[in-house]
Amino acid sequence: MKGSKPIAGRHLGWSQKDLATKPYAKFWNPDVAPVADHVRDALAQGPVSEELLPPLSAAQDVFFGSSVALVDGFSLVADGSLRVASDVDMPGVTPTMIDWWFGWHSDSPERYKLWHPKAHVHATWAKTPPEGAQGRARYVGYTSIVDEYLGSTLVRGAISFVPPETIGVRHDSLKEGGDATMVCAQLAVPGTPFTVGTLAHLVRRTSTGSVMRSRFWMGGSHVKGKGPISAVAAGLGRRMLKASADDGRALLVHCTQEMAHLATFLPALFAAFGPEAKR
């Protein structure tokens, strides 16, 4: 995986000024818990057969089918792509909170850094969503430009949020305000003609909160070029962005850590800054 060059002034962590002035500073916690045992087991196993992690074309069955072949793990696919899977328990979190968070966190780098203090560097909207928008309307159709570390590699990405129907997923539980929500996005490299993959997080309500099921389809056949030289650009992108087992491990660790860490503060943050708190 090709890394990005740091941009001056962007850094991990909060400054003393941020800690003293940001109204949500009490939610800053630089300590991130180790990954859960089931994730550690998946990392120890290494890459698995691609048959255990279905392709993007099977997304409907991946999220709403009768069985799941693999809950946590990653696969290096024959076409050069990477598939990553994880499930994270999120006690006290509701699907409504998740929709609010995805519309809130890219309004400033400090908000984004709350999510993964050891890896998130910067975030901003390519075009700022309307302030009065609520729920999914505040992020679906908008693009977040982020700098973050995957392992020790700094990556800059453009995360364009799309409706679940874009990846072929439909289900009655996904109606806004229902028992589930689904955050889907197409990933690109800012400043290049490449799109590089797709991510999806299904969040389903449980008796104690929610469970987030995450899937990533990256690289290989998912690298697409834009513009009149799209085929040439895609071929170049596949060579430049070829995924490795280390990339799979880094993405699995990153996803499971950030989502577990988010669950430690999101219910209280939502109570303090969510739409109900403003009334």
Residue 231 placed within a domain: yes
Residue 187 placed within a domain: yes
Residues 35-74: tens digit of each pLDDT: 999 999 999 999 999 999 999 999 999 999 976 778 999 9
* Beta-carbon contacts of residue 59 (< 8 Å; ≥ 6 apart): 167, 168, 169, 200, 215
CA atoms within 13 A on the CB side of 236: 10
Question: Which amino acid, residue 89?
Answer: D
Nearest to 199 by CA among 152, 237, 254, 242: 254
- The better pLDDT of the pair 204, 220 is held by 204
Whether residue 19 contacts residue 28, with contact meaning beta carbons closer than 8 Å, is answered with yes
Residues 8-20: tens digit of each pLDDT: 999 999 999 999 9
Greatest Cα-to-Cα distance within the chain, rounded to the nearest angstrom: 53
Residues 72-126: tens digit of each pLDDT: 999 999 988 999 999 999 999 999 999 999 999 999 999 999 999 999 999 999 9
Residue 178 placed within a domain: yes
Q: Which domain holds residue 96?
A: 55-65+82-239+254-273
CA distance 166 to 218: 16
Number of domains comprising the chain = 1
Nearest to 1 by CA among 105, 125, 212, 154: 154
- What pLDDT was estimated at residue 195? 87
Domain with 222 in it: what CATH number?
3.30.530.20
